[in-house]
Amino acid sequence: MVIAQQTAAAPDAARTFPKGFLWGSATAAYQIEGAAAEDGRTPSIWDTYARTPGRVRNGDTGDIATDHYHRRSEDVALMAELGLGAYRFSLAWPRIQPTGRGPAVQKGLDFYRRLVDELLEKDIQPVATLYHWDLPQELEDAGGWPERATAERFAAYAALAADALGDRVKTWTTLNEPWCSAFLGYGSGVHAPGRTDPVAALRAAHHLNLGHGLAVQALRDRLRADAQVSVTLNIHHVRPLTATGADADAVRRIDALANRVFTGPMLNGAYPEDLFKDTAELTDWSFVQDGDLPLIHQPLDFLGVNYYSPTVVSEADDSGTHTSDGHGHSAHSPWPGADRVAFHQPPGDTTAMGWAIDPSGLHELLRRLASDFPGLPLVITENGAAFDDYADPSGQVNDPARIAYVRGHLAAVHQAILDGADVRGYFLWSLLDNFEWAHGYSKRFGAVYVDYPTGTRIPKASARWYSQVARTGVLPAV
């Protein structure tokens, strides 16, 4: 197998990051909070999905998760101990506005007020994400993201959050990985709400874009002038299997569906024309109304970038399959209009998720973004790896593979900065082992090991290693 467009590995020397580079870690509400029915919180689409037999491995749910709702102070103390400069967390929409309509529940907001106050007391910058996939179930019952009303409801929720926390939180993210929400949630069905309708997936993508734009406006209307507003995208770094024109066209198709469906309207004010042509047999895109694109195209202070592994594609023959795209197995594709594209496992070592370990993809991706969107700062809002971690008889968790993974990707970030990319920060995914969506508790991404029966937290060797990098801004030599 020939993989095109690879770059040489970065040297294994010590590297110093720019002064002021932001070092943090990240989590998501449904994955860690638990307390699923406390203080007014009502079900989200992930509560419903996880409680549906056969959807999540071992029947796991986020009902308890890592119990962060009750162990908040302990977790903030851990962040301080590790020397983190920032913490990226998400707000649970059904905890703040249980039905997706009406006034906020103050007990829900109080949890986040206390969290932010404790972070600030420890000199940890709070970075709040409005939406990390936990749509209130009542809004899904009314049609979910394929419906325009959900975007409008999202803007109202953003206003509630900004009114409550805007005096404390200066950095905001509207959406986390809207590609997953749209195409895994409504296309392949491997994420909540588990629908399998390609047209609904495309409609959801547009209304997530619209919700983003409306939320940016709501935030700007309420936040201080020095506040920063962003969006986080899981930009796919797509490579062709071979250097043929057919495989190059496969890259173009997937790039349109994975990346440009969001970067086009959000950052350039227009959808790519080739996306319309590729999906013309499915929809005429008439759900894009006059005036939508200017609403979506809002100025941003930075772009959040999530990266784990590259994507390799080719033109499909009659045996082409989507099962190697890294996003879970389904009889339904998350790639509407791309039936003639096949996905391939990249070469080399993999994580416990089966994802290829390839820092060069992050380097190439950052260089591309810097070229495509000059003047827009970038922040790595998620990067990390799952491995089969365990506590040894002495109670220690040694994870050298994770240290090697993170070090390689930080070296790629540093090289991208040297090459001219304006990268301002890095958030390790994840602070804690947690509920890993359809994989339940079977995959461990955390820098901190969680013993799920007791809730005990044990910083892994990688946490101590990352702590030193965060404190010094120096990536040590191997």
Q: What is the Cα–Cα distance from 309 to 365, expressed in whole angstroms?
A: 11
Q: Which pLDDT band holds residue 321 (cuts at 50, 70, 90)?
A: low
pLDDT digits (tens, 9 = 90+) for 323-349: 579 999 999 999 999 999 999 999 999
Q: What is the Cα–Cα distance from 62 to 90, expressed in whole angstroms?
A: 15
pLDDT at 317: 83
pLDDT digits (tens, 9 = 90+) for 171-184: 999 999 999 999 99
E strands, 242-346, in order: 302-306, 311-315, 341-344
Give the mean pLDDT of 54-62. Answer: 98
Asked whether the predicted pLDDT for residue 322 surpasses 80, the reply is no
Q: What is the Cα–Cα distance from 417 to 369, expressed in whole angstroms?
A: 12
Q: What is the DSSP string of 108-150?
A: HHHHHHHHHHHHHHTT-EEEEEEESS--BHHHHHTT-TTSHHH
Average pLDDT, the chain: 96
The catalytic residue positions are 177, 382
pLDDT digits (tens, 9 = 90+) for 218-258: 999 999 999 999 999 999 999 999 999 999 999 999 999 99
Q: What is the CA radius of gyration of the chain?
A: 21
Asked whether the predicted pLDDT for residue 154 surpasses 80, the reply is yes
Contact 130, 175 (CB under 8 A): yes
Contact 89, 29 (CB under 8 A): yes
Give me 236's structure tokens: 């796919």
Terminal C-alpha separation, the chain: 30
pLDDT at 13: 86
E strands, 180-301, in order: 228-233, 238-240
Percentage of the residues of the chain whose pLDDT score is greater than 70? 96
Strand-pair partners of 44: 136
pLDDT at 126: 98
Q: What is the Cα–Cα distance from 10 to 374, expressed in whole angstroms?
A: 24
Q: Which pLDDT band holds residue 6 (cuts at 50, 70, 90)?
A: very low
Handedness of CA 402, 404, 407, 412 (dihedral sign): negative
Q: What is the DSSP string of 414-432?
A: HHHHHTT--EEEEEEE-SB
pLDDT digits (tens, 9 = 90+) for 460-472: 999 999 999 999 9
Q: Which pLDDT band holds residue 7 (cuts at 50, 70, 90)?
A: very low
pLDDT at 130: 99
pLDDT digits (tens, 9 = 90+) for 276-306: 999 999 999 999 999 999 999 999 999 999 9
Residues 361-379 as b/e (b if ≥16 CB within 10 A, e otherwise) read bbbbbbbebbeebeebbbb
Q: What is the Cα–Cα distance from 212 to 231, expressed in whole angstroms?
A: 8
pLDDT at 282: 98
